């Protein structure tokens, strides 16, 4: 069974990005992401209504990182240390050598290859450092941008569950994509 230790926090670097720990200084950017109905359209979580909601998200996230339950990075540009998105591994299954990747990006940065670059680095960390055998992504099938990103990253569609998730008074479909260690 896998064991995780995220101390010290692993800062990751790509050609254009720094993936670092989310801090209380990111609360405005986290609030902007998590309070935006368009950004959160395919993420079945309540919208942040106050800056305190964003601060609680950051605090809870970092507490879970300290317990080695998940890892979540702030995506920042090398040019400016400002959170433009987040990516991380959640619902990790150490007994199955498997984790779920999740991500969100400020709409002003869509279509620029940023999330592909961040995803590639996160996947490398997941397979090489965390020693996952497989990584899954659970998405809303209406989220074609996320689906296209996963396909570009060589994920394969494993399942499409019809109306298996009840959120906000409606039944939603769930699609699972997976990538095996090469």
Q: Kindly report, residue by residue over 131-148, the tens digit of the pLDDT.
A: 999 999 999 999 999 999
Residue 22's pLDDT band (boundaries 50, 70, 90)? Answer: very high
The rounded percent of the chain whose pLDDT value lies above 90 is 99
Strand pairing category for 17-21 and 71-77: antiparallel
The SS3 call for residue 73 is: strand
Question: Residue 14 burial by CB count (10 A; 0-12/13-18/19+): exposed, middle or buried?
Answer: middle
pLDDT of the residue at 129: 97
For the segment 114-141, the average pLDDT, to the nearest whole number, is 98
pTM of the model: 0.96
Host H or E run for residue 172: strand 170-180
């Amino acid at each position: 069974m896998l064991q995780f230790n995220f101390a010290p926090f692993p800062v990751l670097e790509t050609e254009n990005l720094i993936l670092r720990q989310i801090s209380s200084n990111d609360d405005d950017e986290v609030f902007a992401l998590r309070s935006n109905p368009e950004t959160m359209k395919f993420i079945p979580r309540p919208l942040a209504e106050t800056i305190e909601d964003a601060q609680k998200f950051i605090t809870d996230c970092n507490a879970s990182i300290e317990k080695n339950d998940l890892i979540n990075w702030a995506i920042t540009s090398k040019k400016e240390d400002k959170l433009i998105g987040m990516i991380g591994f959640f619902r990790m299954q150490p007994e199955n050598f498997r984790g779920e990747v999740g991500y969100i990006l400020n709409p002003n940065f869509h279509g620029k290859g940023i999330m592909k670059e961040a995803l590639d680095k996160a996947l490398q960390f997941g397979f090489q450092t965390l020693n996952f055998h497989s990584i899954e992504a659970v998405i809303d099938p209406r989220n074609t941008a996320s689906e296209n990103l996963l396909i570009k990253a060589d994920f394969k569609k494993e399942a499409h569950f019809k109306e298996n998730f009840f959120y906000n008074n409606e039944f939603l479909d769930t699609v699972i994509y997976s990538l095996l260690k090469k």
